[in-house]
Amino acid sequence: MQPMGKLRNMTSIYLTYENQILLLYRQGSRVVNNMWVGSAGGHFEPDELNDATACVMRELNEELGITRDMLRNIQLRYISLYNKPAELRQNYYYFAELKNKDDINLVSDEGQLKWFDISEIPALEMPFTSHHVTRHWLKEGRFNDKFYAAVSTDNDMVFLEMKEF
């Protein structure tokens, strides 16, 4: 099916601390329900359409009360494209290290937050793109500073390094 030209732009950020990752069991969302997703994230506001970092930092502050100064090494690591009926979804995936795990309150209006050892990620139920992005990050992405494009296929995603030129 050809995309209809309608876009859904979303961001997600995965917070890490030592060998742990903070995930949200999202409940009550229009797009994703009863699955593990990034620590925070959401849809772009109209004034953020050309600034994914502004979107993810706003969502992180709104959902968890976390500001940029509480993080280190915040990076946009993946952009994924996923063709759904009647819309093309673009997800911008960030990863960052939390400076102090004790600085945050594990309460969210979006669902239940929980710290996991990163080795537990493969066993968790996640949305299609999150599933593939986090597994790629576990195997390869966390060991480098590369930026990847992830494009969906029938039951998988193809990852390509996006180089500047």
75 found inside a domain: yes
Tell me the CATH number at 65.
3.90.79.10
Which tokens is 91 given? 């997800």
154 found inside a domain: yes
Choice between 5 and 156, residue whose per-residue pLDDT is larger: 156
What proportion of the chain, given as a percentage, has pLDDT over 90? 75
The DSSP secondary-structure symbol of 144 reads: S
2 found inside a domain: no
Domain that includes residue 123, residue range:
7-161
Would you state the pLDDT for residue 4? Answer: 65
Would you state the pLDDT for residue 31? Answer: 63
35 found inside a domain: yes
103 found inside a domain: yes
Would you state the pLDDT for residue 1? Answer: 54
1 found inside a domain: no
107 — pLDDT class (breaks 50, 70, 90): confident
21 found inside a domain: yes
Q: Phi and psi of 137, rounded to 5°?
A: -60, -45
User: b/e per residue, 91-121, with b = 16+ CB within 10 A?
Assistant: bbbbbbebeeeeebeeebebbebebeebeeb
Give the total number of structural domains in the chain.
1
pLDDT digits (tens, 9 = 90+) for 41-58: 999 999 998 999 999 999
92 found inside a domain: yes
Task: Provide mean pLDDT across the span 64-83.
Answer: 94
136 — pLDDT class (breaks 50, 70, 90): very high
> What is d(CA 162, CA 80) in angstroms, rounded to the nearest whole number?
12
Listed range (23-27, 58-62, 82-86) with the worst mean pLDDT: 82-86
Whether the pLDDT of residue 122 is over 70: the answer is yes
